[in-house]
Amino acid sequence: MSTVKRQLEPVPFTDVTFDDAFWAPRIEVNRTVTIPHIYRQCEATGRISAFDLNFQRPVPSPIVLIFGDSDLAKWIEAASYSLASRPEPALEALVDQVADKIIHAQQPDGYLNTHFIVAQPEMRWRNLRDWHEMYCAGHLIEGAVAHYRATGKRKLLDALCRYADHIEATFGREPGKKRGYCGHPEIELALVKLYHATNNPRYLRLATYLLDERGNQPHYFDIEARERGDDPAQFWAKTYEYCQAHVPVREQGKVVGHAVRAMYLLSAAADLAHENDDPTLLETCERLWNNLITKRMYLTGGIGPSRHNEGFTQDYDLPDETAYAETCATIGLIQWNHRLLQFAGDSKYADVIERGLYNGFLSSLSLDGAHLFYENPLASAGGHHRQSWFECPCCPPNVARTLASVGQYFYSTEEKSVWVHLYAQGSVKLKVDGRDVSLRQVTKYPWDGDIKFEIGVAGLQSFTLHLRVPGWCERWRLRINGIPVTDLEPRANGYLAIEREWQPGDVVEYGMEMPLQMVWAHPAVRYLQGRMAIQRGPIVYCLEGVDHETIVLDRIALDPKHVLSNEFGLVHQDDLLGGVSLVRGRGCVVDESGWEGRLYRYREPSSKTIDITAIPYYAWDNRAPGEMRVWVRAML
């Protein structure tokens, strides 16, 4: 049996710093605005006082409050990541206070879920399919691990170990245990983190059990439904595809159901493929990845087109204006691809991470840091706007924890290699072959593809520097200490591998050409035929109403020949939308004249030329509210 162990080790975000104009200010807004904002919202909505266990709650409505514990847990995780990068005594004291409240709510047997302690104690562990108990446990575990790693304090970690022990004593294949698993995967990947934080292999075995048991017959969700007196056939979603439990994980052929659940489950599958050296799980990941990336992902890295199941539908079903594309789903996509990237350093996974980060993830957060999208459609008639909070607020703390730890996606190491997956100005501290190495990127990325790497080694040191050639990049050039390198081609995994004995002061200049590109969708995507999108580097562009007053965006058409000619140009504006490169050019718009009093007519409409401005998709809805459109009509 071949080994499938990960070859690469991600460099933790605590060793990565940004001093650029793109990520650094966003991380700072997250620290100073978003994280405090989420705390206040958790407080105002009773998510913190819930742990005092004296609340009155209508049962079981609204059902979303059943998983309120998870929102606070993700805030702890976000705040802990922020503390790990930048100590802040007041925030640390606040996290401690919240941790104490959580610990205080824990029951003598280790159980820890405010809803089922207070509101429905008789229903504890009786509806794993719908009620998110293990999901909440998983987020609390992730929060506890982050808190422990940031502060060295074990109290919350120890409490969550007791909860995990309780879960292990309740569920499993041993006699007397229930053979259950959660309808919303999450605890599986959290238990792998708990295993690493504690070195306790029981948590890894529990994660493995939960993943392996999923979808087996007789079906646990049927059994528990009958035990509650419910008819399993009355399950609102009709199919266990909704929670990826229709068949065992290794037998799943397509990525289906609720998109966030799918991504968390597959992240755990990637973790367990590595931990248990299990090629069948890696094959499952690769099979589902191919389905997702070649047939079911939006250009922005959004996934899950349907509001009905917050998830997947059919291959090539990618409507733009009604796209659900939940923020959490793109975050899950990034987490899963980050895990897959570490196996063999295949750049196709880093391409997905980059696409998600710069587009469907960043779009979720307003520039002021206090407003968010839950859904990230690729077109809007003007009614879609960020909100300060949601009845189901899974996305805001998920955005905060991702931004606070975004550095984790940029670099990996291997025994004698350094891998650079993503580009941004800043520095990283690494250990290569047991020796300290630093690397500094000087760049205006993502607005410019030129990157200067300053290599920091103490003396002569041999290692291979792997630089990703992004999927969008067709031409690049390389110079080492000013001397052009012309005989190096990317390896099959999409990275340039520079093998060299490095010395102090070495400089690598890597220039990725970053022209405007037009993007076309597969002919089977019926919503997008005759349309094109503009991309430059990793950034997907859109048209926004505020730049095209009095014009309906859907009436605009662009000439592909113009986009690639000097009729289209870039303008960088530091003072607009946090600093963006705009795309300016000419398009056509259908003329409204001669339509008065008619719905149809026999004469062909006329059109006129207009100026168009495209902005990065992630930056839309930060000015006057209005329309937005990524996929624009093409004049063919």
Comparing CB distances to Zn ion, the nearer of 264 and 568 is 264
Comparing CB distances to Zn ion, the nearer of 85 and 359 is 359
The count of chain residues that interact with Zn ion, using the rule CB under 5 A, is 4
Q: Nearest distance from residue 329's CB to Zn ion, in Å?
A: 7
Site string for Zn ion, 59-88 (x = CB under 5 A): ------------------------------
- The tokens of 361 are what? 């993830």
Q: Rounded CA gap, 367 and 172, in Å?
A: 46
Which residue's entry shows tokens 């929060």? 143
Q: Rounded CA gap, 352 and 298, in Å?
A: 11
Residue 61 CB contacts under 8 Å (≥ 6 apart), including other chains: none
Site string for Zn ion, 337-376 (x = CB under 5 A): ----------------------------------------
Q: Nearest distance from residue 394's CB to Zn ion, in Å?
A: 3
Stretch of 153-161, 183-191, 392-400, 538-546 lying at the interface with Zn ion (CB under 5 A): 392-400
Q: Rounded CA gap, 64 and 604, in Å?
A: 52
Residue (of 153, 158, 148, 146) closest to 75 by Cα position: 146
Comparing CB distances to Zn ion, the nearer of 394 and 583 is 394
- The tokens of 389 are what? 């909070």
Alpha helices in 276-420 (DSSP H): 279-295, 327-344, 347-355, 395-404
Q: Nearest distance from residue 400's CB to Zn ion, in Å?
A: 12
Q: Which of 136, 182, 394, 395 is catalytic?
A: 394
Stretch of 114-122, 390-398, 543-551, 586-594 lying at the interface with Zn ion (CB under 5 A): 390-398
Helices 133-151/187-198 angle, 10° precision? 30
Comparing CB distances to Zn ion, the nearer of 134 and 272 is 134
Stretch of 235-243, 387-395, 497-505, 533-541 lying at the interface with Zn ion (CB under 5 A): 387-395
Q: What is the 3-state secondary structure (H, E, C) of 455-507?
A: EEECCCEEEEEEEECCCCCCCEEEEECCEEECCCCCCCCCEEEEEEEECCCCE
Stretch of 32-40, 326-334, 405-413, 525-533 lying at the interface with Zn ion (CB under 5 A): 326-334
Q: Which of 328, 439, 516, 553 binds Zn ion (CB under 5 A)?
A: 328
Q: CA quadruple 93, 98, 99, 101: dihedral positive or negative? A: positive
Question: Strand locations in 112-166, DSSP E?
Answer: none
Q: Nearest distance from residue 331's CB to Zn ion, in Å?
A: 8
Q: Rounded CA gap, 580 and 577, in Å?
A: 6
Residue (of 162, 154, 148) closest to 77 by Cα position: 148
Q: Rounded CA gap, 110 and 101, in Å?
A: 15
Closest residue to bound Zn ion by CB:
328
Q: Nearest distance from residue 396's CB to Zn ion, in Å?
A: 8
Q: Which of 353, 394, 437, 557 binds Zn ion (CB under 5 A)?
A: 394
Which residues on adjacent β-strands are paired with residue 466?
A: 419, 497
Residues in the chain: 636
Which residue's entry shows tokens 């250990």? 431
Q: Which of 310, 414, 509, 627 is catalytic?
A: 310
Rg (CA), the chain: 25
Q: Nearest distance from residue 170's CB to Zn ion, in Å?
A: 28
Q: Nearest distance from residue 324's CB to Zn ion, in Å?
A: 10
Contact between 279 and 1 (Cβ < 8 Å): yes
- Other beta carbons within 10 angstroms of residue 622's beta carbon come to 19
Q: Say which amino acid occupies 578.
A: G
Comparing CB distances to Zn ion, the nearer of 139 and 193 is 139
Stretch of 144-152, 323-331, 426-434, 625-633 lying at the interface with Zn ion (CB under 5 A): 323-331
Stretch of 105-113, 322-330, 359-367, 494-502 lying at the interface with Zn ion (CB under 5 A): 322-330
Comparing CB distances to Zn ion, the nearer of 394 and 424 is 394
Residue (of 400, 407, 409) closest to 95 by Cα position: 400
- Other beta carbons within 10 angstroms of residue 402's beta carbon come to 28
Tell me if residue 392 is catalytic: no
Q: Nearest distance from residue 559's CB to Zn ion, in Å?
A: 39
Q: How far is CA 86 from CA 27, 31, 82, in A?
A: 11, 9, 6
Interaction with Zn ion in 223-262: which residues (CB under 5 A)?
A: none
Comparing CB distances to Zn ion, the nearer of 215 and 332 is 332
Comparing CB distances to Zn ion, the nearer of 304 and 494 is 304
- The tokens of 494 are what? 């999409």
Comparing CB distances to Zn ion, the nearer of 134 and 457 is 134
Comparing CB distances to Zn ion, the nearer of 157 and 263 is 263
Q: Which of 272, 303, 395, 512 binds Zn ion (CB under 5 A)?
A: 395
Comparing CB distances to Zn ion, the nearer of 72 and 612 is 72
Q: Rounded CA gap, 1 and 529, in Å?
A: 45
With residue 136 as reference, give the H or E element that holds it. Answer: helix 133-151
- The tokens of 450 are what? 């030129």
Q: Say which amino acid occupies 181.
A: Y
Q: Nearest distance from residue 176's CB to Zn ion, in Å?
A: 36
Tell me if residue 28 is catalytic: no
Q: Nearest distance from residue 398's CB to Zn ion, in Å?
A: 6
Stretch of 231-239, 364-372, 388-396, 485-493 lying at the interface with Zn ion (CB under 5 A): 388-396
Contact between 243 and 201 (Cβ < 8 Å): no
Residue (of 544, 613, 537) closest to 355 by Cα position: 537
Stretch of 67-75, 393-401, 422-430, 628-636 lying at the interface with Zn ion (CB under 5 A): 393-401
Which residue's entry shows tokens 């931004």? 403
Q: Nearest distance from residue 327's CB to Zn ion, in Å?
A: 5
Site string for Zn ion, 15-34 (x = CB under 5 A): --------------------
Which residues on adjacent β-strands are paired with residue 502?
A: 461
- Please give the residue ranges that form the binding site for Zn ion (CB under 5 A): 326, 328, 394-395
The catalytic residues are 310, 394
